[in-house]
């Protein structure tokens, strides 16, 4: 079927030359699960013609509640492979390369050269932050989307963005991958993220067990898909130049009752810079035991 017929209705919004830019664009998606799978599907239905997909994992039962191409008949199949099949069912002329493996931090810059726009959506958040750092170094735009329970956030990072992804998330700034990964798994570092409960609506028992590494992130399909669709919209903005980007330090802030554009505050940047210091990290267990201080901290960084 002809490309023009498949995406004819887009031309009620996009100029023909804008749709051609969509057709010619290439997007790298690292992680094809909840966020990455939806972004890939939406971009395919928008007419994007070139994809590079990377994911080492097969679908498993716990993916069913939110991952768009997870079905009983795709269980056990590689996520990137299944996503490629879904894209080609939408647009048979699309060019899709698949990498059925995990991204290694040392190869981030080389892999980022595969596409015009980078979408890190890996389960490994430390890795995603490193990808965003690599995209900035290469002068490429990237889009971050992360749902935590009933809270979703989406943000575009441009090469000249005045704030880094680590600073937006109040994570230690500039650490190498191994140190950042270790920090993000520490129970006391996770306990600081009380807004997962206050804004993300996590049950306290689930949050405490997640902090101890016993349970995965709490997520629901509606928030994951809305957050991912906003990421796809930001990518289409980057491709076409149509509409104003929601770019760092601004971001989409989604809850079950609100959809707003907010700004990451200066306090997050301060926490990001301080938390890389050893003496600050050594005091995290002390902070994690003081619930009243944690609640105050949460109000300051949300």
Per-residue pLDDT tens listing for the chain (302 residues): 799 999 999 999 999 999 999 999 999 999 999 999 999 999 999 999 999 999 999 999 999 999 999 999 999 999 999 999 999 999 999 999 999 999 999 999 999 999 999 999 999 999 999 999 999 999 999 999 999 999 999 999 999 999 999 999 888 899 999 999 999 999 988 988 888 998 999 999 999 999 999 999 999 999 999 999 999 999 999 999 999 999 999 999 999 999 999 999 877 877 778 777 777 666 666 666 667 766 766 666 66
pTM: 0.94
Strand order in the sheet with 117-120: 95-99, 50-54, 26-30, 117-120, 142-148, 151-157, 250-254, 259-263
Give which of 264, 239, 281, 248 is closest to 132, Cα–Cα.
Answer: 248
pLDDT of 192: 84
Other CB atoms closer than 10 Å to residue 232's CB: what's the count? Answer: 25
Whole-angstrom distance between the N-terminal and C-terminal Cα of the chain? 48
pLDDT of 189: 87
CA 226 to CA 229: how far, in whole Å? 5
Q: Residue 33 has which token pair?
A: 């699960």
pLDDT of 84: 99
pLDDT of 51: 99
CA 237 to CA 239: how far, in whole Å? 5
Domains of the chain and any CATH numbers: 3-163+219-270 (3.40.50.720)
pLDDT of 277: 77
pLDDT of 273: 80
3-class DSSP assignment, residue 247 = strand
pLDDT of 169: 87
């Amino acid at each position: 079927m002809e490309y023009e017929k498949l995406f004819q209705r887009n031309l009620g919004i996009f100029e023909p030359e804008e749709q051609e830019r969509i057709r010619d664009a290439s997007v790298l998606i690292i992680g094809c699960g909840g966020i990455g799978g939806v972004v890939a599907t939406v971009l395919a239905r928008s007419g994007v013609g070139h994809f590079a997909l990377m994911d080492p994992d097969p679908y498993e039962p716990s993916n069913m509640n939110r991952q768009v191409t997870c079905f009983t008949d795709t269980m056990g199949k590689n996520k990137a492979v299944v996503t490629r099949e879904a894209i080609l069912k939408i647009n048979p002329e699309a060019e899709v390369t698949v990498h059925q493996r995990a991204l290694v931090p040392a190869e981030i810059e080389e892999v980022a050269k595969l596409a015009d726009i980078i979408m890190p959506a890996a389960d490994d958040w430390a890795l995603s932050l490193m990808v965003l750092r690599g995209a900035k170094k290469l002068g490429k735009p990237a889009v971050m989307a992360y749902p935590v329970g009933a809270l979703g956030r989406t943000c575009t990072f441009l090469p000249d963005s005045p704030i880094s992804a680590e600073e937006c998330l109040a994570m230690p700034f500039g650490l190498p991958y191994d140190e950042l990964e270790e920090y993000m798994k520490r129970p006391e570092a996770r306990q600081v993220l009380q807004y997962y409960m206050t804004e993300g609506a996590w049950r306290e028992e689930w949050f405490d067990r997640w902090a101890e590494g016993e349970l995965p992130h709490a997520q629901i399909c509606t928030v994951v898909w809305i957050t991912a669709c906003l990421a796809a919209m930001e990518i289409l903005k980057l491709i076409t130049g149509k509409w104003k980007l929601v770019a760092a330090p601004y971001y989409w802030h989604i809850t079950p009752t609100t959809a707003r554009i907010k700004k990451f505050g200066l306090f997050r940047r301060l926490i990001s810079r301080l938390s890389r210091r050893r003496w600050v990290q050594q005091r995290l267990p002390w902070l994690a035991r003081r619930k009243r201080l944690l609640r105050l901290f949460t109000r300051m960084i949300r």
